[in-house]
Structure 1
């Protein structure tokens, strides 16, 4: 289960939770329609069947066969934390948890198990979320048989009306809810709460966070649960979405069958309204929040009242025009952030709707603590420059080109949109009172109104969005420094910046792409057909290798990757411990030799191209996706990154600012401490793993990257993998002109010296290794790892993965369901072929510090029972069923085939490993796993790490 917004976000991001509705003078605003499209002139997607049962329950079904034989089932109940009282804060979310804790026809603890027996993995396929105004339950169905629909719709009906809400089950779940609350309680979240109080402290919102409070979680009584359940879980407040590979009429029939006889048992109660204080939002205000464990940012916003609106053709056009100005300003801010003179690390603006009662325009700048005033000034003056002088036609043309291309690609790829995405689009639109249209009609509307999206129209809308800023600025600073008289200084800093005169921005220079000619096209010297995988392996005369599979799983989409030369095992990490982090970030920030990152964005406007970069242990990787129209340009861009990376000094300043801002916050949470230290601990102190000291991250330079790139990457072997909707001859031609035209490359891929891959698991700990964090005093994290075999034996590796799945299921039963001690136990498994003799299975839980030793004993007891062969066959069946159900549908995924083929020529053993996949899992038994469990789960060999408060 998850709470919909409890992440580190700016409060202004909360506006999206309220939904954005638009109005049109052609539509009667008083029309009370059950669906938004019935009160709109927007053409609804005709593939969706909407309906309403006599009891008021509404539904939407849609047939979709990507992937085949699967479906997504979602149920939205129109209630959330705003329906709670002061005494029942957190009840809506707590109730969502109780859906898995017993109903009239499903005993406590059996709902999840039943779903797992049907092939739904907990977390991946079964989940739920609670927000201010809605609670949503979701199930991903691995098949669409009537038996599957009966089971899942039956469970949804049990959830909607038949929960037992037994006192003992409620008591048991309290610990789980408290664990979830603790897991989200950290310095960044506390800063978020303070910012929410600043912007909305005069409303009910800060007192209605879905997670609730420690006190109310512990004191909500069973009768209060039942009262809330009766009042707000009602058919007329429920919406069901069923999308998948099934006939709409049959889907409707099944919904009617399971929900048609549901009747409400209590009178309707409206939720609490959110009301903005008009005085507060029209008065200049400032607040400063300090905590040594948070990153520094300044938010400048203006709020004003809005009227309720509907989603129509006119307001979608208006919304696009309103968004253009902020998008162009974001491009300016991004360019400025990548200069040496930038005082901020990053910055952005946005305009959105706050629960239908306030419109918010906001600017956020992230900076080092000592630079907050200069960062605010740069951000404010860049904003004011746009307000006073507007934008250029070139800036607008770039955004229009991107919009047009995005809409065209949506049309091209729409036939193979995946079912979960469509289902979430439908349920999200319902909650936001928006119309689900089609990509085709969206493109038509854009093309019809494109000429009306003028500089004048955009500038006018942009200025309207920021109107009132100077009269009533809302300023919020969160910082790791202590700032005496902070509010006075913050307002003064704003006024000082606002008094600085700004001048028009210089026009951007005209650009032309510099990487169109890589030399004479290469020729193919070898072509091998892999019939059983429907793939082709191709080699060019310069030894560049190409692995290809034609696929229509994503219509008009082509995915690709390039493996270049060596990876971090060849890097000088012994001399420069921060090399990997530095190189990964700096190469991404530096663009190409002839073009900066911003130049590339401008040059590629309106095109479906882009390149991601990564550093692995043995290779550098480039990745991207494109459409058939842009295939050749995509390969030109990738070849440019493979041959002429940029080493731009301005990237150094941005990197340094980011590290100095981010690194000190690592100890603010157990997870941050783990990311810094665990990798090194689990490899017996090898400094190539984990994160080095801040000084080491800053003590690297471009000369070191360049010399390493020249020696190990730029002239190394190249292996390309392409999967997608493209003909082989077209692909070969594009590769021949780019990668195939490069100078000859080695035929042999990089193979690291055995000394570099010699790592070892540490000796077992008699006492736990104790680390500390500086975050919430109630939160700790426990890790226990057992050494396991490496990945050289594919069968043993799969057994290890399945064993870890079983172990996680059992820990969930013991620690969550029986003990109520943790929200979500996790188990990881590592069995790489690269590091001989090294592997592990590890368990980790978030837990209160006072129970950490007890929970360690519980985990070790489960490990000992596994070692003794005491493993419930039902646990095995529930662990393997989702894998078996997913074997066939996983083949309809281009990402899977990318992973299968990525080393098809340099390491063909991967193909054999894939070929054995289905047979391995179809024939796997519990008895196959017991010898490995006996070998692995030796508690004397385990490493225990506790991350406790007190840093």
Structure 2
């Protein structure tokens, strides 16, 4: 899909992850083409960098994970900050025009040509626009001569040969406006206000990449041409190619397609970052009834521009440690039963190259923003006054060392798309791409010399001025009279809370490492055609193992237990939402989640708990050196689940904050209500009421799980870089040592698996949302057979692929009415005689009835067999290519063998998958569509803005 690059819109999250561009290094010396040429950091020798005589720069790298694939990226050094008042949104609009006609590719043909090579629109063919850059992406499913020529030709067409026809521009305006509607939400409005508060004296808040409705409607072909020729120039262009080819060959292909490109006229002036000074205390309040409350306490400092060097990376690492420890302290506090906030974190980052902020970002409990500030500010002040402890520093150093070590272990099987994007982003941020090995070596050179004094000094420097010039920002759904004065008062009262040195907490030993006599094997067999082993221990525990080379030293583990969502009581629908939270936040009987974090510091372990339809699942990944600890941890969660009260306390605070915002967008309403409507009101699906979500308790979850706790069926799957014998030994020591377990998984009752699709009607069900008044959502669903027959599921899925192509052609390209219309299918095996085919699109409320008729017309085409061979081939080629690529994915093999002893049908579907799709014909789909798209059975839903 074509997309705009936008930053997180939840304000409290802006600084808990990297936000904005990394602070840029000083200007590259005039004679240097790449930053590594003027840095003491050694660049990754596997990357070949080059520069053509016309100024275009490129980087190529050979990589064979996955085999026979490649990623091709092109970065143009321009974004929305180079626009004028009259052309706001042009950079992003121009990115769209890359798909709408060029010298050698007529309008509407580019995507079709790529689909014939196996690139699907959205997944493999994409582009993005930010404030600073425009990027084009092609994921090549093969790397033969034909596809290389085609994709490089398309990139060159985009770079210098776009026609920018006035009529094509006019046709695309509706698509851009539809995308603007799709991006609009109360949360995004709050984000814009946040930018205004911090960057209101710069161009940034006024240059959002999407532009304004007026400029989208009025920008002219002449303005497009001037921007295109001024910025789309070889000296502004960087091409990245990473894939399963030799670097010399890739470099020659880039030269072949780009060396004769000559820029037209003079280059246009580029945006220069504006220096900001926020040296006075400021307070701001933003209210919108449809947002979750967020609060930040920040201090602004001059934006330093540093060269990327060995020393600057060490300095940056030391600077990061204090905020990491502070965030950990805040996280621990948030997980206590009486914490006044849901989450909080600290970070120091540049905000869109406008200002450097150290920010305490808080998500308060609903109605308690002042208490949240009084809870979090003293934690910051405690750290500033008394510093950190050696054990806290040791934990961070251990975690960092492990991260570097794992990066080295897994370096040889890094995936091509990730490598390509790393090279591209590093170029844009003037960062040297180094190797994992050199990064670990540098870390080991300085890590043991980092002192608490170093960390404390760097931390205090980052937060210097927070007491004299705090920047206090509150966004909330609450109407607060004299809010800014109350914010100042709350901060003053928080500062009056006395703080004392933090009490040191001794690190515990893990309580779950001895499981008794290792279990003996009852049976062991190799499934030859899928190349995995099935083992059954004498206690009934089942183990499936597949050794793979696709991720060096990475081992993925899945543990399935009896007791999924279908076993939850119908009268308590809130348990479906609460149960996985209770399990994940509840820790173990002997350890809280924070104690577990401390115990496992410096180890690559972790457990995610989820509720499947009919099974409870524990999943995680580790490296060989930590496999025993990973299995100890998983076994402990099976036998000694904590059910701690803090899980319920944190969950309740989040639900009270989140639930009222569900109706702030059409998609929020859809997620809440449509799953239940499609099952004729079955309350087990969708989101129940807020009261139902809050009245559930940890004791209810414990009571539900108790029958499955000590005596359950257990099926373990291990996929990755491990031999079967090693896996068997580790599982025998843990799960194999359990007492006798159930042989068979619990089966849900016939009543529990009975679902009913609602009666169709021409009159849509009408729901409402409280968000943007220019946005509506239309959905229509047709009943389908269930998924017990594999061929039926595949045909219905393939029809969704083709339907999506037609939706894009008609609703997006022809009508310009919907940005990203979707078609999808749900054909489960669990629920007999139940399934559906769905279509969903965001549109203007004024267009919703007309577009619903367009969807009906497309459905009629399919029902009447109007599926041409060209569309079938364009839809099928990416599917076949994805099948081939998936065979080099651990996640795919985990899906295949996770239930390899209890679900033979899943294995059979893998066996037949490739041939089934290769042998599928357009006639098969015509026959299926003839009975599926009956207008009398269609169930229609409109989600409209509130009046």
Query: Could you tell me which residue of structure 2 aligns to residue 133 of structure 1?
Result: 132
Work out which of the residue numbers 919, 926, 929 in structure 2 matches 1:923.
919
**2-side partners of 1:540 and 1:204: how far apart?**
66
Work out which of the residue numbers 649, 655, 660 in structure 2 matches 1:664.
660
Query: Could you tell me which residue of structure 1 aligns to residue 538 of structure 2?
Result: 541
Task: State the Cα distance separating 1:326 from its structure 2 match.
Answer: 0.3
Query: Structure 2: which 5+ residue stretches go unaligned?
Result: none
**2-side partners of 1:376 and 1:297: how far apart?**
11
- Which SS does the other structure have where 2:61 is aligned? strand
Task: State the Cα distance separating 1:367 from its structure 2 match.
Answer: 1.1
**2-side partners of 1:29 and 1:689: how far apart?**
56
Superposition pairs of residues 150-299 of structure 1, within 5 angstroms: 150-278=149-277, 281-299=278-296
- The farther-off stretch of 346-355 and 912-921 is 346-355
Work out which of the residue numbers 507, 510, 513 in structure 1 matches 2:507.
510
1:67-107 CA-to-partner distances (Å, cap 9, x unmatched) read 00000000000000011000100000000001000101001
Superposition pairs of residues 368-383 of structure 1, within 5 angstroms: 368-383=365-380
1:378-433 CA-to-partner distances (Å, cap 9, x unmatched) read 11110010000000000000000000001001000000000000000000000000
Output the TM-score relative to the length of structure 2: 0.98
1:203 and 1:275 in contact (8 A); partners too: yes
Work out which of the residue numbers 380, 383, 386 in structure 2 matches 1:386.
383
- Which SS does the other structure have where 2:751 is aligned? helix
Query: Could you tell me which residue of structure 1 aligns to residue 945 of structure 2?
Result: 949
Quick check: 1:20 aligned with 2:28?
A: no
**2-side partners of 1:367 and 1:141: how far apart?**
45
2:366 and 2:656 in contact (8 A); partners too: no
1:521-546 CA-to-partner distances (Å, cap 9, x unmatched) read 11110111111111100000011000
Superposition pairs of residues 650-689 of structure 1, within 5 angstroms: 650-689=646-685
**2-side partners of 1:17 and 1:371: how far apart?**
29
Query: Could you tell me which residue of structure 2 aligns to residue 627 of structure 1?
Result: 623
**1-side partners of 2:121 and 2:28: how far apart?**
43
**2-side partners of 1:32 and 1:505: how far apart?**
52
Task: State the Cα distance separating 1:372 from its structure 2 match.
Answer: 0.3
**2-side partners of 1:137 and 1:22: how far apart?**
24
Task: State the Cα distance separating 1:718 from its structure 2 match.
Answer: 0.4
2:527 and 2:534 in contact (8 A); partners too: yes
1:178-232 CA-to-partner distances (Å, cap 9, x unmatched) read 1111111111111111111001111110110000011111111111111100100
Quick check: 1:597 aligned with 2:593?
A: yes
Query: Could you tell me which residue of structure 2 aligns to residue 4 of structure 1?
Result: 5
Superposition pairs of residues 361-760 of structure 1, within 5 angstroms: 361-572=358-569, 574-760=570-756
1:811-838 CA-to-partner distances (Å, cap 9, x unmatched) read 1100001100010111110111110011
**1-side partners of 2:335 and 2:365: how far apart?**
15
- Which SS does the other structure have where 2:894 is aligned? helix
**1-side partners of 2:888 and 2:457: how far apart?**
47
1:234 and 1:264 in contact (8 A); partners too: yes
Quick check: 1:814 aligned with 2:810?
A: yes
- Which SS does the other structure have where 1:671 is aligned? helix
**2-side partners of 1:144 and 1:169: how far apart?**
32
Work out which of the residue numbers 731, 750, 761 in structure 1 matches 2:757.
761
Superposition pairs of residues 764-803 of structure 1, within 5 angstroms: 764-803=760-799
Task: State the Cα distance separating 1:29 from its structure 2 match.
Answer: 7.2
**2-side partners of 1:251 and 1:800: how far apart?**
39
Task: State the Cα distance separating 1:461 from its structure 2 match.
Answer: 0.2
- Which SS does the other structure have where 2:866 is aligned? coil
Query: Could you tell me which residue of structure 1 aligns to residue 892 of structure 2?
Result: 896
1:676 and 1:690 in contact (8 A); partners too: yes
**2-side partners of 1:177 and 1:674: how far apart?**
23
Task: State the Cα distance separating 1:507 from its structure 2 match.
Answer: 0.7
Query: Could you tell me which residue of structure 2 aligns to residue 337 of structure 1?
Result: 334
Task: State the Cα distance separating 1:302 from its structure 2 match.
Answer: 0.7
1:827 and 1:843 in contact (8 A); partners too: yes
Query: Structure 1: which 5+ residue stretches go unaligned?
Result: none
2:29 and 2:38 in contact (8 A); partners too: no
Output the TM-score relative to the length of structure 1: 0.98
**1-side partners of 2:619 and 2:366: how far apart?**
35
**2-side partners of 1:861 and 1:136: how far apart?**
36
1:694-747 CA-to-partner distances (Å, cap 9, x unmatched) read 000011112211111111354220000111111111111110111111111111
**2-side partners of 1:847 and 1:67: how far apart?**
38
1:625-658 CA-to-partner distances (Å, cap 9, x unmatched) read 1111111111110000111111111222111111
Task: State the Cα distance separating 1:593 from its structure 2 match.
Answer: 1.0
- The farther-off stretch of 490-499 and 623-632 is 490-499
The count of aligned residue pairs is 944
- Which SS does the other structure have where 1:242 is aligned? strand
Task: State the Cα distance separating 1:577 from its structure 2 match.
Answer: 1.6
